[in-house]
Amino acid sequence: MTYPAGGYASYGPEPWQQTSWDWRAAGNFVCGGAGCGLIVFTALADAGRVATGALTVAGLALVGLGLLCVALELGRPLRALNVFRNPRTSWMGREAWAATLLFPVGLAAAWGVPGAAPVAAGLALAFVFCQARLLQAAKGIPAWREMLLVPLVVTTGLAEGGGLFFAGVPWHDAGNLWLLTGFGALVLVRVLVWLGYRRNLSGTLAQGATDALDRAGKVLQLAGTVVPLALVAAIATGFVPGALTAWVAAIAGLAAAVAGAYTKFTIITGAGFNQGFALAHLPIRGAR
């Protein structure tokens, strides 16, 4: 497959890199997924009211930052309100409604309203699922339309949020062994989904998309999987002294979160190649 010397073709039979969704769109997926994951892990943790409130607000702030990234790329921001009109047919509309419900319920959970935390966690899961389906609905981009992208985006967002949760353990001390074990299991599931995702895309991508995903895959598997799993195992087996447990968990969480964010950013930007035009049947003059 060849490309012009000056770059990729804008349109034609050869794949070209989409430019509609840039770092701002990627920021929504990265921050939104991580914020939702943080809200879910906070709801599962046995934390005090202050820690729960601070972590939940931090998760909501990340979701809000992601939505702000989207707002920055709108030419006519007031038209964004139209997205609320079609939740029955649009994943973007469903994402908007999930976010609208998430913020008041999340603030109630942060305030300590009984029963609000699990509801906020459910809305956070709904939000990140809508994000995944929204991206997967772009059928013209092979790296996005793959069905395994949905569980990949969801597990990556949850792993990012869990990573941020444990990155803050030295300060909020709300982690416990079973939650850390669950985080390790989530990191393992994420890499297994990634391997299946890459296997299904083998031979279907433009070279630029393949190179970008291969780079992200190395980061995800080494820094985002091997490192945190090794550290979680060291903590679970008692190899790490008690005084260092929180800091080792923080390193594991930070590695998993950064690697996941880089992977999602790469999928949306570096791997966002259209497939190019395809004619299944070439027209022949004089033939029906």
Question: pLDDT 10s per residue in the chain (288 long)?
Answer: 333 433 444 555 677 788 788 889 899 999 999 999 999 999 999 788 899 999 999 999 999 999 988 877 766 666 666 677 777 778 888 998 999 999 999 999 999 999 999 999 999 999 999 999 999 988 889 999 999 999 999 999 999 999 999 999 998 888 889 999 999 999 999 999 999 999 999 988 889 999 999 999 999 999 999 999 999 999 999 999 988 999 999 999 999 999 999 999 999 999 989 876 665 666 667 666
Query: Is residue 181 within 8 Å of residue 57, measured between CB atoms?
Result: no
- Where residue 273 falls (left for φ over 0; alpha for ψ -120 to 50; beta otherwise) is beta
| pLDDT number for residue 281 | 63
DSSP structural state of residue 226: I
Give the start-to-end residue ranges of the domains of the chain.
23-268
Fold of 23-268: Formate dehydrogenase/DMSO reductase fold (1.20.1630)
Encoding tokens for residue 152?
Answer: 């990949």
| pLDDT number for residue 18 | 82
Could you tell me which of 90, 149, 160 has the C-alpha nearest to residue 124?
A: 160
| pLDDT number for residue 8 | 43
Look at the alpha carbons of 136, 225, 118, 167 in this order and tell me if their dihedral is positive or negative: negative
Could you tell me which of 193, 162, 194, 184 has the C-alpha nearest to residue 231?
A: 184
| pLDDT number for residue 90 | 82
| pLDDT number for residue 93 | 86
- Where residue 42 falls (left for φ over 0; alpha for ψ -120 to 50; beta otherwise) is alpha
